[in-house]
A and B are shown apart, each in its own frame.
Chain A
Amino acid sequence: MSDTSLSVAQDSPSPESPTGATIELENLTKRYPGSPQPSVDCVNMEIRAGETVIFVGPSGCGKSTTLKMINRLIEPTGGRIRINGEDVTDMDPVRLRRQIGYAIQSSGLFPHMTVAQNIAQVPKMLGWQKARIKDRVEEMLDLVGLDPGEFHGRYPRQLSGGQQQRVGVARALAADPPVLLMDEPFGAVDPITRDHLQDELIRLQRELHKTIVFVTHDFDEAIKLGDRIAVLRERSHIAQFDTPEAILTNPADDFVSGFVGAGAALKRLNLTRVGEVEITDYPTVTVDDPLQDIFNALRGSGYNEILLLDKRGRPYKWLRRGDLMRARGSLARAGTLVVDTVTRDATLHDALEAVLTDATGRVAVTGRRGEYTGVVDMETLMNSVHELLEADRLDALEHQHDLEEARAHQTHEEQEGTAGGSGGSGEARA
C-alpha cells in the first residue's frame, strides 16, 4: 500500500494483506439539528479484528446511520471512533474511506464505467501502478466467482442483480481494506441469489478474515453470517450484543425475542453442522456382496433395514426384510432408492428436513465424494438438539453471571475510587 495508508494496515499482523482491524465505538452519537431526540444515542461497542458483526433492527432504528458513522459518511456529533486503536474521528474522511471497504444495496456501481473500471476505482485513487491494478481486478473478479475474461469489459447494466452485487463486493475489497462495511448489500436481490451471495460471503470471510460490519433487517441473514449480532432498538440502543447462539437461546428481553421471532429452536438448527453431532453407524452391504451375505446381514443385524451401497461406496438403496423375497432375489428390483443424503457440512436444519421427508425416518450422511460415512436419524437429532439447547442455556447463564460479576466489580471499584479520592483530599486538607 502507498504511504497514504492508515497505521491500521501497518499494525495488523501481515502488512501485505491486513486481516481485519478492531473497531471501537465510544459514546457515538448523531443528533440532527431540529430534532429533539438523537437518531443515534451513545453507542458503545467493541468489534474484534477479523470478526463479522451484524447490526440488525427494525427500519429507522439508526443501524445504517451507525454504520455510516464508522466511515464518516455521516459525521458523528459526539463520541469517538477508533480503528485498530487509532482515533479516526478527526482524520481526513476521504483518506479514512479509502482504507475501509464499502458495499451497499443494489451495489452502487457506476453505470458509465465497466466492471473493471468500477473495481479499479479505489486502487487508482491510492496511486497503484497500472499493471498491479489490472492484476488486482482479475484477482478480485476471480475471488467473487465471476470469470474475468467474460465480465471485466461489461457495463453494470448488462449484469444480473446478483452479479452486480458480486462486483460491488469486489470493488469494496479491491484495495484489501482491513475493514468492510456492508449496508444491506443483499437487500435487493431475490431469495435464491441472496442465499448464494451469503454463502459466498461466508467463504470469502473464511479466506480473508476481514472485520466486517454488516447491516440488515433480516434476522435469519444475521444468524447465518454473524459471529456476533447486535440487535438494535430505536436510536441505535443496543438491546443485545452477543453470539447468534446466545441470542437465540437467551434473548435479553421481549424486544429481542420479538425480533428473533417464532421458532428460535428451529433457527438454532441452522447453526450446527451434521459433522458436529453424533453420527451412528449402520449395517451396510454393497452390491458386489453375494446374495447370501446380504440375507445373513439382514437377519443378523437386528435392524429392520440395511443400507445397500453401490460399487463406489455411495448409499444406493434401503433394503427391508422381505424385500429380497418379494423381488425374488433380484437386487435390481428390491428395496427403495435413497433419494436424499446430507454431507457433514450440511446444517441440522437440512438434516431434519431430509429425515422428515424420508419414509424411513433417517438420512445417510456422505463424505466428500458422496461415500457413505454414517446415518442420522430422528432420535439422534432430537437428542443433539436438546443437548445443544441445554449447553446454550448453561453458557448463557454463565455469561450472565460473569457479566453481573464484572458489573459488580466495576461498581465496587468506582465506589472505591470515589471513596479513595475524597479520602485523599480529606487527608490533604488534614
Chain B
Amino acid sequence: MSTPKSRDIARERSEEPGDEDAAALDAEKVPAGPPRTRPPRVSWQQLTVLPALLVILLLLTWLWFQQAHLDDISRNALSGGKVAKALVQHIELTLISTVFVLIIAIPLGVLLTRPAFRRATPVAMAFANMGQAAPAIGLLSLLVIWLGTGRLAALIGIIAYAVLPVLSNTIAGLKANDPTLLEAARGIGMSPFGVLTRVELPLAVPLILAGVRTALVLNVGTATLATFGGGGGLGVLITTGITNQRMPVLVLGSILTVALALLVDWLAALAEVLLRPRGLEVGP
C-alpha cells in the first residue's frame, strides 16, 4: 500500500485558501513547528480524554485489589507474572491476527475490483459473510478438532471472523473512486499498477482504515475465546474466574480486556485521522 507523504502532525500547517503565506510554504521546507492558523488534525481532547479514563479505570482496579481478599486459588491464578503473560499473549493474538487479516483482505479487495475478477466478488463476499456469520466459538471448536489445540487454531478462527469488515470496506473504498479521475490518471500515462498505488488506494485509505479499526476491535474481543482452543490470552483469566467462581480473577480479566479494546480503538481512531491523505479533508 502506498503511503502518502507528510502525514505527521508536526508538519501540520495552514491549508486555508485565504492564508497565502502559510500555504506557500512547502511541506518539505517547513520544519516541525506549531500549526499556524488551522487547528491540528488531532485536538488535545481527542489525545487525552480516553487515556485519562483508562488510567483512572486501571487505578481503581488496582486500589480495589489492594483491599480485596485473595484466597489461594485466586493468588495462584494471578501470581508469577501470569497476568502479564496473558496480557502479552492477548496483544500478540490481536496484532498477529490483524496483520493477517490485512494481508488477506486488502489484496483480495483490490483483486476483486479489477475488471478481470469483478465477477468473483459475490462468491468471495459470500465466504467472508460466512466467516462472520458463523459463531466464533463454534468455528473455533471445529478448527480445534481439525488442527488440534494451540495458537494456530485460535488465530485462524480470529482471522476468519475479521476478514469481512476490511474486505467490504476495501471494495467499497475502491469502488467509490470517481471513474473520470481514474481515467485521467490513465490518460496522463500511469500504468495500471501506478493508478492503483498512487491514486486508487490513497483515496480509499479512509474507508479501508475504518474497516481496519472495526477488525482490530473485533479481534480484541474474539481473542478472549482463544483460551478454549488453548491459545492463551486474557480469556484464560476470565474462564478461570468463572469455573473457580473467583470474582477478582474474573473482574481483572474482564477489565483488562475492556481497557485493551478501548485503547486499541483509540489508537486506530488516531491512525484514521493521521493517515487520511491530506487534501481530502473537508477544509474551511
Contacts and interface: CB of A to CB of B under 8 A. Distances in A.
Contact of A153 (B24, B181, B189): B24
14 contacts: A97-B188, A98-B188, A110-B198, A110-B199, A111-B279, A111-B280, A112-B280, A122-B188, A125-B194, A150-B24, A153-B26, A153-B27, A155-B283, A158-B283
B279 A114 contact: yes
Interface of B: 4, 15-17, 20, 23-27, 180-181, 183-191, 194, 198-199, 202-203, 277-280, 283
B26 A152 contact: yes
Interface of A: 68, 71, 73, 94-102, 104-106, 108-114, 116, 121-122, 125, 149-150, 152-159, 171-172, 181
Contacts of B16: 158
Contacts of A157: 279-280, 283
A113 B5 CA distance: 9
B189 A156 contact: no
B183 A121 contact: no
Contact of B180 (A94, A108, A155): A108
Interface centre among B24, B184, B188, B279 (most CB of A within 10 A): B188
Contact of B15 (A71, A98, A101, A155): A155
A275 B186 CA distance: 44
Contacts, number: 93
Contacts of B280: 111-112, 157
B181 A110 contact: yes
B187 A97 contact: yes
Contact of B187 (A95, A99, A104, A158): A104
A407 B16 CA distance: 63
B118 to A, nearest CB: 16
Contacts of A125: 189-190, 194
A71 B189 CA distance: 9
A154 B25 CA distance: 9
B181 A112 contact: no
A171 B189 CA distance: 12
Contacts of B186: 73, 97
A111 B203 contact: yes
B189 A150 contact: no
Given A153-B27, A158-B283, A71 B187 contact: yes
Contacts of B277: 111-112
B199 to A, nearest CB: 6
Nearest to A134: B26
Pairs of residues from A and B, 10 with the lowest C-beta to C-beta distance, nearest first: A108-B184, A155-B279, A98-B189, A112-B277, A102-B187, A97-B189, A158-B17, A112-B279, A149-B24, A94-B191
Given A114-B279, A150-B20, A73 B180 contact: no
Contact of B23 (A100, A106, A109, A158): A158
B175 to A, nearest CB: 17
A150 B25 CA distance: 8
A152 B20 CA distance: 11
A171 B157 CA distance: 49
Interface centre among B4, B23, B24, B187 (most CB of A within 10 A): B187
Nearest to B20: A150
A112 B188 contact: no
A254 to B, nearest CB: 34
Contact of B185 (A106, A110, A149, A150): A110
Contacts of A156: 279
A154 B203 contact: no
A108 B179 CA distance: 10
Nearest to A152: B26
Contacts of B198: 110
B203 A112 contact: yes
A106 B283 contact: no
A155 B278 contact: yes
B283 A112 contact: no
B187 A108 contact: yes
Contacts of A101: 188
A155 B27 CA distance: 12
B84 to A, nearest CB: 42
A154 B17 contact: yes
B180 A122 contact: no
B187 A112 contact: no
B238 to A, nearest CB: 44
Contacts of B283: 155, 157-158
A113 B187 contact: no
Nearest to A98: B189
A181 B183 CA distance: 13
A168 B185 CA distance: 12
Contact of B188 (A68, A116, A171): A171
B25 A172 contact: no
Contacts of A109: 184
B190 A150 contact: no
A112 B278 contact: yes
A152 B23 CA distance: 8
Given A97-B186, A97-B188, 9 more contacts: A97-B189, A111-B279, A112-B202, A116-B26, A152-B24, A153-B24, A154-B15, A158-B16, A158-B283
